[in-house]
Amino acid sequence: MNKVKTKDGVEIFYKDWGKGQPIVFSHGWPLSADDWDAQMMFFVTRGFRVIAHDRRGHGRSTQTSDGHDMDHYADDLAAVTTHLDLKNAVHVGHSTGGGEVVHYLARHGESRVAKAAIISAVPPLMVKTAANPGGLPKEVFDNFQAQVATNRAQFYRDVPAGPFYGFNRPGAKPSEGIIQNWWRQGMMGGAKAHYDGIVAFSQT
């Protein structure tokens, strides 16, 4: 199993397939590198090297109690890119992963980066504040935390079955495989990491 140890001792799992220009994928909350399998297969069969990691506390990475914030996420990504000596890389971040990529560029610069694609990402801010009146009320994220703390198994079933993939829309045809895969990835991670991560993706 491929892992790199960060400067604070956390082991970060990563997938590394193929050869060619590297594409680095950063996943959303509360998922894992597995969420990118379809995209990784698409690009690896077209001559690219594809890399995806499990964020700390997620998937197969260490379920640490600490460090569930954007700066640590960015530094963990840097640990992976440095360990693999990636150059001229394209970074792709979805949701929380988009925030991770933005913080990575801000903290570690662009010397290893060719391009970055930020998809449905959290920057600049999700929570509603005086400076961000179009954000969501903090109570929304408080409710997320309450559900993670009390019954995340059910919460991780309800989210993909409803709004996450739009399966709650009229005429939608829910995919049980997609729903179960989302649930599986979520339950692989640590509840503490997911609980703290809600603050990370909503307030930074």
Per-residue pLDDT, averaged over 45-49, amounts to: 99
Model confidence, pTM: 0.95
> What's the gap between Cα 66 and its chain centre?
17
d(CA 196, CA 78): 21
pLDDT of residue 166: 94
Q: Which CATH superfamily is domain 3-203 in?
A: Alpha/Beta hydrolase fold, catalytic domain (3.40.50.1820)
Reported as a single tens digit per residue, the pLDDT across 116-140 is: 999 999 877 899 999 999 999 999 9
Question: Which candidate, 99, 190, 180, places its Cα nearest to that of 148?
Answer: 190
Q: Report domain extents, the chain.
A: 3-203
Q: How many residues does the chain have?
A: 204
d(CA 84, CA 59): 20
Give Cβ neighbours of residue 169 (< 8 Å, ≥ 6 apart). Answer: none
Please report where in the chains the tokens 């930020």 appear, as a residue. Answer: 118
